[in-house]
Amino acid sequence: MNSRICELLDIEYPIIQGGMAWISTAELAAAVSNSGGLGVIAAGNAPADVIKKEIEKIKKLTNKPYGINVMLLSPFADEIMDLVVKEKVPVVTTGAGNPGKYIDALKSIKTKILPVVPSVALAKRVEKAGVDAVIVEGTEAGGHIGELTTMVLVPQVVDEVNIPVIAAGGIADGRGMAAAFTLGAEGVQIGTRFICSKECNIHDGYKQAVLKAKDRDTVVTGRSTGHPVRVIKNKLSKEFEKLEKSGAGIEELEKLGAGKLRLSVVDGDIKNGSVMAGQIAGLVKEIKSCDKIIEEIVKEAFEAYESAGRFYLKHSVK
Ligand code: TUI
């Protein structure tokens, strides 16, 4: 499988694992990298000393390239970026903001920079600033999201930038990967599917919640705070919605959300915790190892291409 993304990142398959706070640890990232994709450790809201240990761990688990996802709303974003530069981490993905002020430092150590963007405007801005590729994420994704769908956003960004585009949001199998490539993407970022992997070392309750989720089981909370977040519906999401409807201020809403991702991921409290997942959760039915997940996605993508090709051929021969 050859794309500019494979060459850029020195990986076998253009599949990047989503940086999911608390979920994307060194163990998961190493398993994805060892399977030919790009594993990514999520820094989330963790301080640099915690992420330094994750970097030490992944270096013991794989010799392949890996990335760190920097959540730009984190109070520790600056110190995480300092750590990335010091450790010469091969790839950085960013989320929830514009990474502009960090680009020069990352480029000076040849770290590849892949920002997540929710719009054409930000994609163009970061291209101009010198990033290596953009991860174009649709609103189908889990966690913090933008407004537009993957289907409409990917081709619009592809038409406006020259750097490679990685599609994200709503992709969990080879059909989704083939569709993303048809839209002009050269890689995919996959999060939700990897939650239900053997090597993802979170509480089993969280995995079971994703496996059980059906097509309409996610909801977006926090629109009124300016930080919309897609989660699986539960007691907490209902409380959050009620509080938002009552006109509560950002402070009160943020207080309700504080510490709730840890509660579900680490403690397995999937009623009172925040269970972030994408709309594609309904497609995820089984826990498998990362190498099986990737192998199946790649095989299925080729099959999807062939079947679409046969369809076009049939309809073009008059
Ligand atoms: O970042 C994510 N997903 C996340 S971060 C997260 S932790 C969190 N918790 C509570 C509130 C907010 C975050 C959970 N899930 N995905 C990547 C992503 N980035 N999605 C959307 C964006 C984004 C949004 C606006 C990227 C850039 C952006 O730019 C605004 C600007 O400054 O121009």
DSSP line for 259-300: THHHHHHTT--TTTS--B--GGGGG----B-HHHHHHHHHHH
Range of the structural domain that residue 194 is part of: 4-201
In a domain, 287, yes or no: no
Q: Is the CB of residue 73 below 6 angstroms from any atom belonging to ligand 1?
A: yes
**What average pLDDT does the segment 51-73 reach?**
98
What does the DSSP 8-state code read for residue 216? T
In a domain, 312, yes or no: no
- Based on the structure, what is the number of domains in the chain? 1
Tell me which residue has its CA closest to atom 28 in ligand 1. 97
Look at the block and give the residue holding tokens 């600033």.
129
Q: Is the CB of residue 146 below 6 angstroms from any atom belonging to ligand 1?
A: yes
Return the H-helix or E-strand segment holding 137: strand 134-137
Q: Is the CB of residue 230 below 6 angstroms from any atom belonging to ligand 1?
A: no
The per-residue pLDDT for range 90-136, each reduced to its tens digit, is 999 999 999 999 999 999 999 999 999 999 999 999 999 999 999 99
In a domain, 78, yes or no: yes
Which among 116, 127, 220, 276 is the best mutation to test ligand 1's pocket, defined by most ligand atoms within 8 Å of the CB? 116
Give the Å distances, CA to CA, from 199 to 32, 202, 268, 279, 313: 9, 9, 17, 22, 41
The per-residue pLDDT for range 235-287, each reduced to its tens digit, is 999 999 999 999 999 999 999 999 999 999 999 999 999 999 999 999 999 99
Q: Is the CB of residue 304 below 6 angstroms from any atom belonging to ligand 1?
A: no
pLDDT band at 207 (very low <50, low <70, confident <90, very high): very high
Question: pLDDT at residue 143 above 70?
Answer: yes
Residue 10: Cβ within 10 Å count: 12
Q: Give the strand pairing for 229-232 and 218-221.
A: antiparallel
In a domain, 315, yes or no: no
Cα-to-centroid distance, 51 and ligand 1 (Å): 19
Q: Is the CB of residue 277 below 6 angstroms from any atom belonging to ligand 1?
A: no
Supply φ then ψ for residue 116, to 5 degrees: -80, 130
Q: Is the CB of residue 265 below 6 angstroms from any atom belonging to ligand 1?
A: no
Question: pLDDT at residue 317 above 80?
Answer: no
Q: Is the CB of residue 137 below 6 angstroms from any atom belonging to ligand 1?
A: yes
User: Which pLDDT score, from 0 to 100, does residue 318 have?
Assistant: 59
Closest atom of ligand 1 relative to the 143 alpha carbon: 15
In a domain, 149, yes or no: yes
In a domain, 105, yes or no: yes
Q: Is the CB of residue 145 below 6 angstroms from any atom belonging to ligand 1?
A: yes
User: Which pLDDT score, from 0 to 100, does residue 139 have?
Assistant: 98
Question: pLDDT at residue 309 above 90?
Answer: no
Q: Is the CB of residue 96 below 6 angstroms from any atom belonging to ligand 1?
A: yes
Start-end of H helices in the chain: 4-9, 26-34, 48-61, 77-87, 103-108, 120-129, 150-160, 174-182, 192-195, 204-212, 235-245, 250-257, 260-265, 290-316
In a domain, 264, yes or no: no
Question: pLDDT at residue 308 above 90?
Answer: no
Supply φ then ψ for residue 177, to 5 degrees: -65, -45
Q: Which of 140, 94, 147, 95 is nearest to 119 (CA)?
A: 147
Give the Å distances, CA to CA, from 108 to 66, 70, 84, 233, 298: 18, 18, 12, 44, 34
Supply φ then ψ for residue 38, to 5 degrees: -110, 115
70: domain CATH number?
3.20.20.70
Residue 119 · residue 99 · CB < 8 Å? no
In the chain, the amino acid numbered 116 is: V
Q: Is the CB of residue 122 below 6 angstroms from any atom belonging to ligand 1?
A: yes
The Cα 42–Cα 64 span in angstroms is 17
The per-residue pLDDT for range 211-236, each reduced to its tens digit, is 999 999 999 999 999 999 999 999 99
In a domain, 246, yes or no: no
Tell me which residue has its CA closest to atom 24 in ligand 1. 96
